[in-house]
Structure 1
Amino acid sequence: MSCPGFGELNIPSSRAFWDDCEEDEFENMKPAEKLQLKFDVESAGDVAPVASDLLVVIEGPHVTHFATTVLAKDSKRLCSIPAKTSSLHWNASSKQLLAILEDDLSSSGEVTELLLPYAKLAKNVVTLTLKPKVEFKSEEIQFYSDHVAIVRGVGVNQKDITELEAPNFIAGVAAGIASWRDQEELPVSSFVIYTDKLPLDSTAAQPVLKLLKSVGVTCNSSYIPPRKESSYLYM
């Protein structure tokens, strides 16, 4: 195809792609491995989805230590979730199910499918997405320069929570489960917190803990991050 005055325009086709591949390459290709929940040994016989009063989905970069420390207390780890160091925890006394999801958009669709059986049985669902504050877009961004965190809701009806405004959005497993619950007209509350500190430290964790408690999530009142190894420079 040619465009007068603009040289030649080459549009690649799927046929060109297949023609470039050797036949023996297809013979050696292995089917993609299907993602699965990997249940712990002590939970191996307990693989049926549990019916929870509340399913909490917390997703973002570097959330594992925070979530396991302040949310998974007195909970039993059920399985690992195939997205980095993600995992699922069950608190039998409070009937709270906790999905801790390290940010991994490459597998979020499949992981959402794996967790839908739990989302279907939950009486209520709360999703929380953690993002770096630099990703928040606003025409008045200078107003938030001194804020430790920017808290927004997605489709929630709470006077003290501002609705997430475009062009900001949430994605991943939290968005997938929230969308499914909304389509099925089942209770769901979704939140996103833009914070200037990831992994969270003691100060940055406070707005997160405050939000979780306000929506009925069982969690600790404070967070102590892991101690970093001291480094020494010898000349």
Structure 2
Amino acid sequence: MVSHFGEVIFPSSRAFWDDEDEYESDENLEHYLKLNVCWLKKKPEHMQKFIIIEGEPLIPFVKQCLCHNAEEVCIIETEDHKKVSVIYHIDKQIYLCIVLPHFDTKNAGTLVNQISDLLSSTESTISIVCRHVSQFQSTNIPETPSFLRILATKNANVAKYKIEPLEQPNIVFGVGAGVLSYAEFKGISAKLYVLYIDNFVLDSKCAEPLLQILTNETDCKLQYPKFTENFFSKGNLYM
């Protein structure tokens, strides 16, 4: 793990980089979530960009922006056929992975393990998560409706976007954190954007930095939402 990370937290699992997992008892292994990856279309051998969206405030917004003409190509589900993630083909070699809100982040390592072959075949991985500004720990909090922070692997180009890195002691957890950790371990280019918002609704003002990311990272024609819909419906942020 590179030293400039603010702090990336992910739960203990049988994921790819932890040698200690080899010594776990069979009794403990029975409790791990088992996921099945079901491709509805041909699995891509190479991807230019793989975008991972995690957190309910982001999902309906990003789906409206990017998925208006997108094709659902893959479903990741539990053994009892409960869908936990969907992958869309956005354009050419750009794919979007939606992590559904009911997915338990304690199983993030298992999900990352299931998509590790995709991460290895991707030129660049971009993860986006959302947090309420009350979770941002700093002596200098921007007085704006929303703002971005970024974590990246050593070989990712982040200078041109001029987004401040996430400083310590802030914590990132979940699938996005696991993907970033895996990418750093494997030498893959990856970025993790954290969108901090000061409201419990992703309105037009809060969404401006998110639109900036999607425009810069995808080079796709976006379908801009009209914000007539409440993009956040549960009254508390994805934790």
Report sequence identity in percent.
22
* Richer in strand (by share): 2
1:222 to 1:186, Cα distance in 2 relative to 1, 3 A: same
1:194 to 1:76, Cα distance in 2 relative to 1, 3 A: same
Instruction: Quote the RMSD (CA, aligned, Å).
Output: 2.6
Whole-angstrom CA distance in 1 between matches of 2:33 and 2:87: 21
Q: How does 1:1-235 map to 2 (within 5 A)?
A: 34-39=34-39, 43=40, 46=41, 48-82=43-77, 86-91=85-90, 93-103=91-101, 104-141=104-141, 144=142, 146-155=143-152, 157-158=158-159, 160-218=162-220, 220=222, 222-225=224-227, 227=229
Q: Which amino acid letter does the alignment assign opposite residue 159 of structure 2?
A: Q
Q: Tell me the CA shift for residue 66 of structure 1.
A: 1.3
Q: Which has the higher Rg, Structure 1 or Structure 2?
A: 1
Structure 1: state its 5+ residue gaps: 1-29, 229-235
Q: Which amino acid letter does the alignment assign opposite residue 71 of structure 1?
A: L
Q: Tell me the CA shift for residue 59 of structure 1.
A: 1.3
Secondary structure of 1:191's match? strand
Query: Does the 8 Å CA contact 1:152/1:162 hold for their aligned counterparts?
Result: yes
Name the counterpart of 2:234: none
Query: Does the 8 Å CA contact 1:150/1:193 hold for their aligned counterparts?
Result: yes
Structure 2: state its 5+ residue gaps: 1-29, 231-239
Whole-angstrom CA distance in 1 between matches of 2:106 and 2:218: 31
Deviates more, 1:187-196 or 1:58-67: 58-67
Structure having greater relative contact order (Cα 8 Å, sep ≥ 6): 2
Whole-angstrom CA distance in 2 between matches of 1:184 and 1:151: 26
Q: Deviations over 1:19-74 (max 9, x none)?
A: xxxxxxxxxxx9766222345xxx2xx36354211101121233321121112232
Secondary structure of 2:188's match? coil
Query: Does the 8 Å CA contact 1:205/1:223 hold for their aligned counterparts?
Result: no
Count of matched residue positions in the alignment of Structure 1 and Structure 2: 190
Q: Deviations over 1:149-188 (max 9, x none)?
A: 1211113632611110011122111111122122222221
The TM-score normalised by the length of structure 2 is 0.69
Whole-angstrom CA distance in 1 between matches of 2:84 and 2:58: 9
1:210 to 1:56, Cα distance in 2 relative to 1, 3 A: same
Whole-angstrom CA distance in 1 between matches of 2:169 and 2:63: 31
Whole-angstrom CA distance in 1 between matches of 2:185 and 2:38: 28
